[in-house]
Structure 1
């Protein structure tokens, strides 16, 4: 794995864990999802417009790829927020991040024809195992079953959109910013009727938490754009497991700042994850 690819995914992991923490802390519904998606449009709009005008690969498959990513990401965000309202960040997030790379790596092998070197497979397996153990079973959460089920469902969508988007940016050569922007447009349009009906909550979110919402808008898109750029020259089987570094940060934030506990045990498994990251990064 190249140093550039490693650096992009690592930076994305920090941004990803941070916006997940903010979403959990605000504990909002789909109105929050609509608000930060809508706010990201003017932030990344000039870049997306320039790329849309200069992109020479417009075709039926390209349009399909953009529509598909919007639908998959909308489902992911809705499930993620629903889970955060009833479960623990330090259980849902690790479970989702463990399930996602397993499915995305398998789909990449089957659908994209990507090879799986033995060292990369070992590193990825260690990362996924460490992340799974972070959930800690029933003693790791007051709401274990519900949190675990939401985590598995979110992870399934992570695996699906990772391979779908990898196809878009690496095979169809769609610019990563444009790929992510299509997702933000889709969420903004499809959720607007719901947000309009709950406009009082939208206004309250903006009035009371505007800086947190703006941070989510910037970090959410920024994190995934970095991942998409990495996918343009790095196979999914490297990128998907390495993204799990974000779990270390999410566990720390959830255990310490949100009072979800189990810090010592969870950080022990974090060491296992870091060992897997080292093996994967040097393969």
Structure 2
């Protein structure tokens, strides 16, 4: 009788458990059709016209914008310590007859709005009168976690991308163009680490709004800048620590091996005469 009662209790408990699980599954909200499953915001289709209205983008995201020849186009993205940013831009020129050569330029500024030099790439290119497009690129130096106040080293924070035409016939001003911008980041490892770190990344006027809030921001307002994946490191972790620890272990093992080799067994190799 006791065994039957125990089995009955177990069956009732199992039924209650499955009933609760079914209720939980039923109450779970289904994903909205408008929500992307990859968690990434759609690529921007417009650009800002100044530093304050720069359009926020993320690495490996192709941003586009339709503009007029002569406009200043601005985008902004976060770059962390130990990363080397490469920005590429392509401008599709109008098919209508143009009056001469147009020179386009790609500039990258850090969070202090200091223009950073391009280590590689062609940041300025001239498009012939009959050219259909022009492509530019700029690879910055590796971002440092800390720098001297007088230095112009790239530091972690916001990086502004500016694309514009710097020389063209006046009659070609205002012609429609289509711009594409893509930024990629490459981790350079602990070889570029320094001992100091910034108190905070250089992100002027940035808010901590989510990407959904950035999409709903009103035009003309400062862009809400995001953070790199995993947050700002600012030199907090690096493979330099691994190499340092490995070097210490190898040095200790080398010291032990050297001691054992030179010390020997501790006994004299020859017995002194008369001993």
TM-score, normalization by structure 1: 0.24
Bigger fraction of residues in strand: 2
**Structure with the larger RCO, 1 or 2 (CA within 8 Å, 6+ apart):** 1
Bigger fraction of residues in helix: 1
Q: Look at both structures and tell me which one has the larger radius of gyration over its CA atoms.
A: 2
TM-score, normalization by structure 2: 0.25
